[in-house]
A and B are shown apart, each in its own frame.
Chain A
């Protein structure tokens, strides 16, 4: 089956800088696909091209089996695009906004009333349907925007940083909605700067400075993590219970990375006491003991307050940190069709 989105060697300059440097991505159908990256990684440029609002400088995009450069009009009938900025009419009510988009897509009569009723229920906005969009909370605005992009039963949804500036509870609600859309068989591409949201995706790419640093399922990324990872904590009765480590200070000997994470430090240690070579096979299962005794002792050289060091499973954030620091390398899959198993291709 043809992928929902096939991107080949896509490059685009933006304001004189390379926003995208020849990336290739295949998004299976259906899939909840994450585009993870910090600000300026090229997420919005990519989303804009996928939404057929910008032409790439080179490379090609096929969406839903159609060429984005030539068949953009027909693609627009079948995609829903939610831009980064809230872009509904703030002075129209929730209902009027939905109604407007239904009209644009030529949905009328009973179809329209049914669809609007369904979407208002789906977004939990029924009690607020008379309220002006400008007076909704951040989370509700995003839900309304999502509902508006769904009016015409799109097969592909493009969501550009939909959860930025939204409170954590609303963020979770929003992702639950995305999951249920995925279950209905819609393909979603969601860009986000939040690493923790990566775990909720079926498959993802990590964008960095316009290039792809890593791609795969969350499980594949975690499996590729090459280090033993410790959570380093201060003594419970210490005066300062949160540990910090300056970013420009080199890690203590034997460690590859050390960085703060939620008040503790995460320290990554190479399995043989040395950093593995780039692209080397990850250590499978063997996260037992350090190379030479107690890791706390070795950490104290640099972090005198270190009290305990617990071996932990890396999270996707740890993977991304290693990837972004250049201490972990995943070869981007170049051949089309070489999709991760179990994602429905």
Chain B
């Protein structure tokens, strides 16, 4: 019988025995996929806001209404004083504070009256100093990214309110605002028209899960035989390292593919992410990718002597691979030299492939470079591991 087949069959026999592990292999990634699919979002929603209203006029109240009615913000009430607002920021109860100065309504009135040609905007923070009513904004800047986004949203909401305010006033004089504005944008968002971040993140989570399962399982499987002494026994037979390595990789390749299929089903049914690519193309790219993710596991098992060491080594790699894959942070934002480093990261390529395939329906013509890169990395890792896999004790 073919020696590869002997090992593959034995692996399946053992897997079949180990029902608990088999269940864990499928169940745990499913749970992670569902939970993380909801949790991992780059959208900045429900930012807590408080207002200190020194004016108290109908205009300021109407503006506060505009903010509190918006789903992007959670209105946490009025602050009594500046120190009160400061305390709320200190305690983390709110991320944004709006201070409406005394005489806001009057300033607004004056602005529109004095400069009838200029839109009386409620300047936000560092806005133009010489015109319009002033509104002060306090921002909790710890999480720079979210703070920036939330501030942008708030400015947009306030500006929108100001424009509407202006519009009603102008209308009283018989001028229609939209006739004054020379540019109108007509937006057409492609691939993800509702700009849902889940559509972008869920395929990414699928990549991470498949990577984790395949790299860890392969790594453990060989190291476990090392620990049990069975590998030593195998080495004193006509088996060659390549038989053991490939024989071990095949079952986990199949598990990886099943895992990815489960992830695809969850992505489409649970999160309604459309898969617009071709399934056979995906299988081809997945195979290329698995070569490297399984390779990491096998490489680890040639270095590690115990499962503990294996776990540590695999985590070392996976953490780099995940964070430098463009999963959370676009690779384009990274320093140039880090971008070069990511060229050795198979996760980066598969992340790109899967996202493109999901949303754009891309295929070989668009993605062959990524495919070639994954094949290349996989081939190198695999060859290196087999060579390093000693004929002696592994």
Q: CB within 8 Å of B: which residues of A?
A: 51-55, 72-73, 76-77, 79, 81, 83, 85-92, 96, 100-101, 103-106, 108, 132
Contact = CB atoms under 8 A, between A and B. Distances in A.
A76 B13 CA distance: 26
Given A53-B232, A87-B233, A88-B230, A104 B239 contact: yes
B14 A76 contact: no
Interface in B203-251: 228-230, 232-239
A29 to B, nearest CB: 20
Contacts of B17: 91-92, 132
Nearest to B16: A91
| 9 tightest Cβ-Cβ pairs between the two chains A and B | A87-B229, A103-B6, A81-B236, A85-B229, A87-B233, A91-B17, A87-B230, A104-B237, A103-B1
Contacts of B113: none
Interface of B: 1, 3, 6, 9-10, 13-14, 17-18, 228-230, 232-239, 391-393
Interface centre among A77, A85, A87, A132 (most CB of B within 10 A): A87
B232 A76 contact: no
A103 B7 CA distance: 9
B228 A90 contact: yes
Contacts of B234: 104
Nearest to B237: A104
A186 to B, nearest CB: 16
A13 B236 CA distance: 22
26 contacts: A51-B236, A52-B236, A53-B232, A54-B392, A72-B391, A76-B238, A77-B238, A79-B236, A81-B233, A85-B228, A87-B229, A87-B230, A89-B230, A91-B14, A92-B10, A92-B17, A96-B10, A96-B13, A100-B6, A103-B1, A104-B234, A104-B238, A104-B239, A105-B238, A106-B1, A132-B17
Determine which residue in A54, A76, A88, A104 has the highest number of CB atoms from chain B within 10 A of its CB, and name it. A104
B239 to A, nearest CB: 6
A101 B232 CA distance: 13
Given A81-B236, A86-B229, A87-B232, A53 B393 contact: yes
A303 B229 CA distance: 49
Contact of B228 (A54, A87, A100): A87
Provide the main secondary structure of the chain B interface: helix
A254 B125 CA distance: 107
Nearest to A87: B229
A211 to B, nearest CB: 25
Given A53-B235, A55-B392, A79-B236, A100 B230 contact: no
From B13, B232, B237, B239, name the one whose CB has the most chain A CB atoms within 10 angstroms.
B237
Contact of A83 (B3, B6, B9, B229): B229
Nearest to B1: A103
Given A91-B17, A92-B14, A100-B6, A83 B233 contact: yes
B236 A53 contact: yes
A91 B17 CA distance: 7
Contacts of B232: 53, 83, 87
Contacts of A92: 10, 13-14, 17
A86 B391 CA distance: 21
A108 B3 CA distance: 12
Contacts of A51: 236
Given A88-B230, A89-B10, A91-B17, A105 B237 contact: yes
B238 A73 contact: yes
Nearest to B391: A72
B3 to A, nearest CB: 7
A104 B236 contact: no
Nearest to A103: B6
Nearest to B240: A73
B354 to A, nearest CB: 35
A288 B10 CA distance: 65
A88 B236 contact: no
A6 B230 CA distance: 27
Contacts of A81: 233, 236
Contacts of B3: 104
Contact of A76 (B6, B229, B230, B236): B236
Given A76-B237, A76-B238, A79-B236, A100 B229 contact: no
Contacts of B391: 72
Contacts of A104: 3, 6, 234, 237-239
Contacts of B1: 103, 106, 108
B384 to A, nearest CB: 22
B19 to A, nearest CB: 11
Contacts of A108: 1
Given A77-B238, A87-B228, A100-B10, 18 more contacts: A51-B236, A55-B392, A76-B237, A76-B238, A81-B236, A83-B229, A87-B229, A87-B232, A87-B233, A92-B10, A92-B17, A96-B13, A103-B1, A103-B9, A104-B234, A104-B237, A104-B239, A106-B1
Nearest to B15: A91
A149 to B, nearest CB: 9
A172 B50 CA distance: 86
A79 to B, nearest CB: 7
Contacts of A73: 238
Contacts of B14: 89, 91-92
A80 to B, nearest CB: 8
